[in-house]
Amino acid sequence: MVLALFRKAEIEPPADIEAASLRSDRFRLEREMDWKRLDAIVTALEKNRPGRISDEDLLDLPVLYRKTASSLAVARETSLDAATLDYLEALVRRAWFQVYGPRIGLGGWLRRFLGGGWSASVRAIWLDICIVLAVMVAGTLVGWLLVEQEENWYYSLVPGEMAGGRGPGADPETLRQTLGTAEADGLGVFATYLFSNNTGVCIMAFALGFFFGIPTLLLLVYNLALLGAMYWVFAEASLGIDFAAWISVHGTTELGAILLSGAAGLHVGRSMAFPGDRSILAAMQSAGVRAAQVMAGCTIMLIIAGLLEGYARQLVGDTPSRFAIGGGMLALWVIYFAFAPAPREHDT
Q: Are residues 303 and 165 in the same domain?
A: yes
Q: Are residues 91 and 114 in the same domain?
A: no
- CA 202, 208, 213, 214 dihedral sign is negative
Helical residues (DSSP H) of the chain, grouped into ranges: 2-8, 15-46, 55-77, 82-100, 106-112, 118-124, 126-149, 153-157, 160-163, 172-178, 187-207, 214-236, 240-273, 280-307, 313-315, 319-339
Q: Are residues 95 and 134 in the same domain?
A: no
Boundary-marking domain end, from 77, 100, 123: 100
Residue 213 binned pLDDT confidence (cut-offs 50, 70, 90): confident
Q: Are residues 69 and 147 in the same domain?
A: no
Q: Are residues 333 and 199 in the same domain?
A: yes
- Contact call for residues 290 and 129 (beta carbons, < 8 A): no
Cα separation, 340 vs 272, whole angstroms: 29
pLDDT in tens, 285-315: 888 889 999 999 998 998 898 888 878 877 8
- Residues of the domain holding 191: 107-339
pLDDT in tens, 19-56: 555 566 777 778 888 888 999 988 888 887 777 888 88
Q: Are residues 137 and 204 in the same domain?
A: yes
User: Do the domain assignments include residue 348?
Assistant: no
User: Do the domain assignments include residue 5?
Assistant: no
Q: Are residues 54 and 152 in the same domain?
A: no
Boundary-marking domain end, from 70, 100, 130: 100
Kindly report whether the global pTM for this prediction surpasses the value 0.85: no
For 73, 249, 276, 314, the CA distances from 228, given in Å and listed in that order, are: 66, 17, 37, 22
What is the pLDDT averaged over residues 98-111?
69
Chain length of the chain:
348
For 14, 26, 28, 160, the CA distances from 71, given in Å and listed in that order, are: 26, 13, 9, 70
Q: Are residues 114 and 214 in the same domain?
A: yes
User: Do the domain assignments include residue 215?
Assistant: yes
For 5, 23, 30, 226, 315, the CA distances from 79, given in Å and listed in that order, are: 19, 11, 17, 67, 73
Q: Are residues 330 and 309 in the same domain?
A: yes
Cα separation, 260 vs 334, whole angstroms: 12
What is the pLDDT averaged over residues 204-221?
88
User: Do the domain assignments include residue 345?
Assistant: no
Q: Are residues 262 and 161 in the same domain?
A: yes
- Domains: count for the chain: 2
